[in-house]
Each structure stands twice: as C-alpha cells, then as structure tokens.
Amino acid sequence: MVREFQIPTELMDQICSHFIEDKPTSSACTLLSSRWHPSARRALFHTISLSLASDTFDVFFVAPPPKTAQYVKDLTLKCGSLTAHDLDQVISIFPALQRLTLDGTTLYLLDSDHPSIEGWKSPRDLHRLRLTDVTYYMEDWSSKIPEDDNEFNHWLPKPTEDFERFKQEPSRCSLVQLLNLFGNVDTIHIYQVHPVGQGDRDYHYLSNGRWPVDYSWYYRPVFRSAVWAEAQKLLEHFSVKRILAADRGLHNADAWYFEDIVLYLLAYSQKAAAYLDCLEIAEEWTVTSELLNKVGATITHLHLHMDDVMDSNLPNGNFFDWAEAGTVEEAWADCQALFNDILRILRMASATIRHLSFHFETYFRSLTQYDWESLDQLLSSCFRLTDLSFRIMLFRSKHSALDLDVAKSLNPRVLEREVCDMLPLMRTALGDSMRLSLTFEGETA
C-alpha cells in the first residue's frame, strides 16, 4: 500500500508562488489534486490584467469569476476612461488587492452630485500604485493668492498661508480624487502622467501658448498657487514612502511628459510625503531643487536622472539639445551647467541619504574637466552614505565628430577608473560600494 506524503500547505503555497507568471502551469496545478487546488488557485489569480475596449467604463466587465476575487493581489487595469467612483467600485471587488496599475487611462472629474465614495471614508493601503500613460483633469487653474499679478514671479507658499480653507473645498482635480481612495502607499510609480483641461485652461495654456510645454509656468503664481491649493485637498490618510518617477529619462520620453505637476501635488501636501524615504526623478533643476527642499529631510534613497540643461534666464527657458549644440564654448558651458546643478543639489541634500545615484549625459572631452574635487568633498560630507552609483552617457559633439570614436577606442573600464581616481575620498570610504558605468550614444547600459 502506497503511503501518501502530506506536504504542508505553506510549502505548497511557496511552490505555487513560482508559477504566478506562468498561467498554463498554475492552471494545470489546480487539477493536480484537491489538496493542491487551493494553493494553485491562489497563484493562478494572484496577478490579472483587465483591458476594456470601450471608452465607457462598466464595472460589470471587471468582475472576475465567482470566488476568485479574494485571490487577486496584483491588478492591471487598461481602459480608456474612468472616475474615482469607478475605481472605488473596482477596489471593493478585490479585498486582498496590494498592487494596482492604471495604464492608458484618462481620469475624469466627478460630477458635483456624484455617488458616495466609500474609499474616501475607508481608504485602502497598497504596496504599489503604478500610473502609466495617464491623463487627468484639473479644472481650476485660477489664482489662489489675492496679490497675484500674473507676472513671471517665483512664488512659494508662506507659512502664514491659509492651508485649512482649501481642505474644506471639494477637489477639482481628478488625480487628487483618485489618490484620496488610498491610505498608506509604499510605492507610487509615475510615468507619462500629466493634466489636460477645459477650454483655454488646459496644459497648453500652462505654457502661455507654447508647445512643447516649457518651464515658464513654474514662475507664474497663478499656476503655482492653483497646484498648491489642490494639494491641500489630499486627505490626511494618504501618504507615500517611495516615489519612482525617473522612467522618462530611461525611455527618452518627450519633454511634455514631465511628471512635474504630480510631484508638486505630492510635495505641497501637508501629509502625503511627510515620511518619504525614496525619491527617483528625472526633472530639471527647478523642480528637483524645490522637491528636495520640501521632502528631502527624510529621504535615504535618492536617484537623479539629469539629462536636461535649462537656460538660466527664465521664464523663456529652453532645453539644451545635445545634437544641436551651438559653438564649442556654448556646448561646454551647458555641460558645465549640468554638472554644477548636481553640485547644487548635493549641497541641499539631507545628511540622511544612504543610497545616492546619478544618471547624466556629457561629451567625452568634458568628462575629465569637471570639478570632481568639489563633488568628492561634498559627497564625503554625507556621513551616512553607504552606496554611490554614477551612470554617464557619452555623446558625440558636432564640433568634434571623432570625439566619441576616440572614447570608444579606449577601454571603458580604463575611463571609469580614471573618473573614480578623481574621487579619492569616496573611493576610500566606500570601496566597491562606489560604482561608475559609462555607456556611449546609442548603447544601453
């Protein structure tokens, strides 16, 4: 007589967890035996993706087969449009949901007479919220400060600003309406998330008629105060520990897909980023510096993807185009400006930072001419720093077509060691925990 070997349920769960991404195998395991069925079923429905072809959302098409919703922990929702009320209904279907992705979605504003939103009363905690290719509406771009003259003046909220008066008003930003459905979010991942609007108050209007949208709006109090006012309407139960918004730099997304307004909404809120631990962004100096001033005190992990140089004479800021640099002197000045931006950011970085990484672009001949000594001294003042990483992409200069070819003819490891030798303090302090990698134009790391 064959004796059946009883595998503990915990072990079967662990085995089946390796098949979460392998739907045919996890499906086959549900038919193995009655004892394997529950574990295999948990793996089979752990991660699901729902795509709605219609632009009109209907929760009926989201509902999973009977007795399976309890197993879903990772949900990707692809639909043309939805509101916070629609998503509230979706969340209520999946009681164990931990990770949510919205992909290719337009978030519409709720009507003034919208149904009750249960998520605003009982918010859901998440391990991860991923927003990819999401547009949202922010209806009111009017000034929230009486002295606003609509000039290009730098404006920041003063400590004396009346924060409370905006908390009592209903939000007219569909992204804020959505975020208020959640409580503690461990990680929010943002990629190509930007606003649209109505009439002459849309994203194009932000840039005073220019396209692509440039950074003029940052210095217009009318828009800065509007974003700040909406940030006060994020409910106190919403908070985030990690903000990942550097994918634009990694995927070379177009300039008008900056996540700047989303980042400002989170940073201007009184509670949302109060306990922020990790920040990964691909924004230029203006945004980066203000974010660090607002949320830098608690950050231990900072990743900066800095490939764009701004002219200093805002409001008519223009991005530096690596392929269309002006004279040799202008090209070098822009390279130096980018490196100086890194130095300025480090001077305001918190001493709490333990993990620091940079990604930037430059020309080969500029690589050894930067003020690496100042960088080395600044980094050595970050006494808690335990991990440092540089990723540098070398571009061809139109003024020296052989520039990149010369670099490629050299051993990349030799170039990396040459740069590391210019950071002696950090090399001594961190050893192998300081890493530097060089890639060339058109290559990937």
DSSP string covering 143-178: --STT---SS------TTS--HHHHTSPP-BHHHHH
Say yes or no to pLDDT of 235 above 60: yes
More confident residue, 443 or 275: 275
380 CB-near residues (< 8 Å, 6+ apart) = 425, 426, 429
Instruction: Place 182 in a pLDDT band, splitting at 50, 70 and 90.
Output: very high
As a whole number of angstroms, the distance between CA 254 and CA 86 comes to: 30
pLDDT at 228 (0 to 100): 87
Instruction: Place 231 in a pLDDT band, splitting at 50, 70 and 90.
Output: very high
Q: How do 278-281 and 434-440 pair as beta strands?
A: unpaired
Tell me the mean pLDDT in the region 212-226.
57
pLDDT cut 90: percent of the chain above it: 24
Nearest by Cα to 221 from 163, 141, 124: 141
pLDDT at 125 (0 to 100): 96
414 CB-near residues (< 8 Å, 6+ apart) = none
Torsion of CA 298, 302, 305, 308, to 10 degrees: 40
Q: Using alpha carbons, list the distances in angstroms from residue 316 to 100, 178, 344.
A: 39, 33, 22
Judged by DSSP in three states, 203 sits in: helix
CB 239 within 8 A of CB 276: no
| Residue length of the chain | 445
pLDDT at 237 (0 to 100): 94
Query: What's the pLDDT tens digit per position in 117-127?
Result: 888 999 999 99
- What residue has token string 């909220």? 157
As a whole number of angstroms, the distance between CA 43 and CA 408 comes to: 47
pLDDT at 308 (0 to 100): 57
As a whole number of angstroms, the distance between CA 4 and CA 24 comes to: 26
Nearest by Cα to 382 from 307, 436, 302, 289: 302
Quick one: how many helices (H) and strands (E) in the chain?
Answer: 17, 12
What are the tokens at 23?
């739907």
Tell me the mean pLDDT in the region 296-301.
88
- Specify the range with the lowest mean pLDDT, choosing from 32-36, 41-45, 260-264, 401-405: 401-405
Instruction: Place 5 in a pLDDT band, splitting at 50, 70 and 90.
Output: low
- What residue has token string 């219609």? 54
As a whole number of angstroms, the distance between CA 295 and CA 51 comes to: 36
Instruction: Place 249 in a pLDDT band, splitting at 50, 70 and 90.
Output: low
Query: What's the pLDDT tens digit per position in 98-113?
Result: 999 999 999 999 988 8
Q: Using alpha carbons, list the distances in angstroms from residue 162 to 156, 169, 235, 266, 270.
A: 13, 13, 16, 18, 12
pLDDT at 313 (0 to 100): 40
What are the tokens at 426?
């950090």
* Maximum Cα interatomic distance, the chain, rounded to a whole number of Å: 91
As a whole number of angstroms, the distance between CA 340 and CA 346 comes to: 10
Nearest by Cα to 80 from 60, 61, 53, 110: 53
Instruction: Place 85 in a pLDDT band, splitting at 50, 70 and 90.
Output: very high
pLDDT at 318 (0 to 100): 47
In sequence order, what are the beta bridge partners of 242? 187, 278
Instruction: Place 170 in a pLDDT band, splitting at 50, 70 and 90.
Output: confident
pTM, entire model:
0.84
Per-residue DSSP letter, 46: S
Say yes or no to pLDDT of 256 above 50: no
